[in-house]
Structure 1
Amino acid sequence: MLSRVLSACLVSVLLIPSISHAEWFWYSGTAMTTRIELQLWSDDQATADSASEAVFAEFDRINQRMTRYSEDSELSLVNREAGERPVEVSDSLFRVIEEAQRVSKLSNGAFDISFGSVGFLYDYRELKQPTDTEVAERLQHVSFRDIVLDAEKQTVAFRKPRMKLDLGGIAKGYAVDRGIGILKARGIHHARLSAGGDMRLLGDKRGSPWVVGVRDPRSEDSNAVVLPVSDLALSTSGDYERFFIDEAGNRIHHILSPETGRPAKGIQSVTVMGPDALTTDGLSTAVFVLGVEKGLAMINGLNGIDAIIIDENRDMHYSQGLAAPEAVDSTP
């Protein structure tokens, strides 16, 4: 029901409801270059359809502002002009950049939305990566400390003129939270909304917990662990989401270290759980870049946040707030 081309970024949303039993409704589609899935409990289909349309429309609106793939987006305007002057931005874009800065400070730069200064050089569809010379030149423009926010005027400015921001590691989490907010406002009390690796659970599953699987990073159809959870957010960052194997046999994935400009090493996936997806989205990327020891130290210092890490040896590590979840056979 929603389908249109936004400059270079195609955003198409197909809403297809189906009733499994009683009053559960399912909707799925594509937005923000990822698959969106929504399951909700409602008294009638008209209410469910209207709520789902509003959720997908919100994803569409956020994408128009925060995509880097459209020259007409608000983020692209910031990338073009913030190095020359402070750029006034919308409430939503300011909120996302502000949260990104908070996670950057918390992780000492392991999460840094200015990584786009280097990240734009990678093309995963064309199996292309930058040269060492190109990376070294662009790394000079990666520094979250040189992103200047003015909360009173709601502006963004760069101290480094050639800096570029990429919100791919946090914008979907924000969109998921906004979608859940829409559902709450429309009287929905039980729902599950996911956008790629970001998920938010509203309430429980009508008297029982939701059962959420953490994907095996090396098997698309298998889970490494399953979790019975309710009323929280989960975000997973993995080296399997966008990647290619180069001529030397290296996995070139999209989670880049802001320090090296190259794919972070040592971890296959990180799942972070917390109260909202904006928080968990940024933290999952930060932990992936920090590595197991530093990542868990950061998570263990935060109230209400937990994490599961699968390292490069396929060993699992848990934050202090988690007992070891139930392991499952990951054999395809």
Structure 2
Amino acid sequence: MAEILRTRPLLGTFVEISATGGEALVMDAVSAAFAVVEAIHKSLSFQSPESDLTRLNLADGAWATMPRDAVRVIRLARAMTRASGGLFNATLGGQMVALGILPDHGFAPACSRGSADDIEINGNSVRLRRGILLTLDGIAKGYAVDRAVAVLKRHGAWGGAVNAGGDLRVFGNARAPISIRQGESFVPAGILADGAIASSGGQQAEDGRFRGRIVGDTLPALRTMTVMAAQAWRADALTKVACLSAGDGARDLIGRLGGQLIGDAQAQ
């Protein structure tokens, strides 16, 4: 059995991919997984003026043909926006540009936010209504992790892990210790197997092409939320829902949306 671990700067962070399996296939599996992550990185970065996402945001309400993975992420983002009652909201690009969090690539005047109904999809074409700007950020990063895992499996890896700045998914014979942030320290929270985990805080460092920042009308006190789910895209999206949820209902809401809230630590 061979085991390989490689790291590359992608998605505005460092992406680490590990895999175990037959010696002849592991290297090819990891290389193919990185290729998929890089393609999503180039396609869905709000930071890049040349990405498919920027092209869509510049289309000024016209239909734009998008790659398959991009359409899939947009469908997932629209569904989560609707299912969470807007706590997760993929249409905040206009607000984030106005705040200086995200760059202005020459966009027309944009609404600060929209709704799931402002995102129209027809096959591999997408249209944005009412002058919204789409920002996919963490959900695209989580989706890239999931796609990388799918590639590793397809190449015959027995197990492995993909970690993109805290969006972590493991499969097969791999195991990963996990911790929950409490203030400035981390507390062990068990072992992750065949699943995904992600964490988000009320404010995040702005780094690289996939900036992390949670915005909302009534952002609760700064806290770090950690969510487990079957997929990394879902875990990442649900951390935003958790951060914006009020009171004890957050845990039940996350459960209904397919995740498990395992952290609710107040930042110090």
The normalised TM-score by structure 2 is: 0.86
Give the superposition deviation at 1:215. 4.3
Q: Which range is displaced more, 63-72 or 282-291?
A: 282-291
- Which SS does the other structure have where 2:173 is aligned? coil
2:240 aligned to 276, 285, 288, which one? 285
Mark the CA change 1:48 to 1:301 in structure 2 (over 3 Å): closer, same or farther: same
Corresponding residue of 1:308: 262
Give the superposition deviation at 1:72. 1.3
Corresponding residue of 1:30: 9
Q: Which has the higher contact order (CA 8 A, sep 6+)?
A: 2
**Greater C-alpha Rg:** 1
Do 1:213 and 1:223's aligned partners in 2 also have CA atoms closer than 8 Å?
Answer: no
Aligned counterparts, 1:2-21, within 5 A: none
Is 1:100 equivalent to 2:77 in the alignment? yes
CA distance in 1: counterparts of 2:82 and 2:202, whole angstroms: 24
- Which SS does the other structure have where 1:114 is aligned? coil
CA distance in 1: counterparts of 2:9 and 2:2, whole angstroms: 24
Do 1:217 and 1:239's aligned partners in 2 also have CA atoms closer than 8 Å?
Answer: no
CA distance in 1: counterparts of 2:13 and 2:126, whole angstroms: 27
Do 2:202 and 2:243's aligned partners in 1 also have CA atoms closer than 8 Å?
Answer: no
1:297 aligned to 249, 252, 267, which one? 252
Q: Percent identity?
A: 23
Aligned counterparts, 1:1-332, within 5 A: 23-44=2-23, 46-81=24-59, 83-123=60-100, 140-151=111-122, 153-161=123-131, 163-205=132-174, 210-216=175-181, 218-219=183-184, 222-239=185-202, 241-242=204-205, 254-257=213-216, 259=217, 264-302=219-257, 305-312=259-266
Give the superposition deviation at 1:148. 2.8
CA distance in 2: counterparts of 1:156 and 1:276, whole angstroms: 24
CA distance in 2: counterparts of 1:299 and 1:178, whole angstroms: 23
Do 1:176 and 1:200's aligned partners in 2 also have CA atoms closer than 8 Å?
Answer: yes
Do 1:269 and 1:311's aligned partners in 2 also have CA atoms closer than 8 Å?
Answer: yes
Mark the CA change 1:107 to 1:184 in structure 2 (over 3 Å): closer, same or farther: same
Q: What letter matches 1:187 in structure 2?
A: G
- Which SS does the other structure have where 2:215 is aligned? coil
Q: Which range is displaced more, 47-56 or 27-36?
A: 47-56
The normalised TM-score by structure 1 is: 0.70
Corresponding residue of 1:248: none
Give the superposition deviation at 1:281. 1.6
Q: What letter matches 2:45 in structure 1?
A: T
Do 1:124 and 1:242's aligned partners in 2 also have CA atoms closer than 8 Å?
Answer: no
CA distance in 2: counterparts of 1:100 and 1:215, whole angstroms: 26
Give the superposition deviation at 1:228. 1.6
Q: Report the count of equivalent residues.
A: 258
CA distance in 1: counterparts of 2:247 and 2:224, whole angstroms: 11
The superposition leaves residues 29-70 of structure 1 with CA deviations (integer Å, 9 ceiling, x where unpaired) of: 2101111112221232x5322221111111111111100111
Mark the CA change 1:53 to 1:86 in structure 2 (over 3 Å): closer, same or farther: same
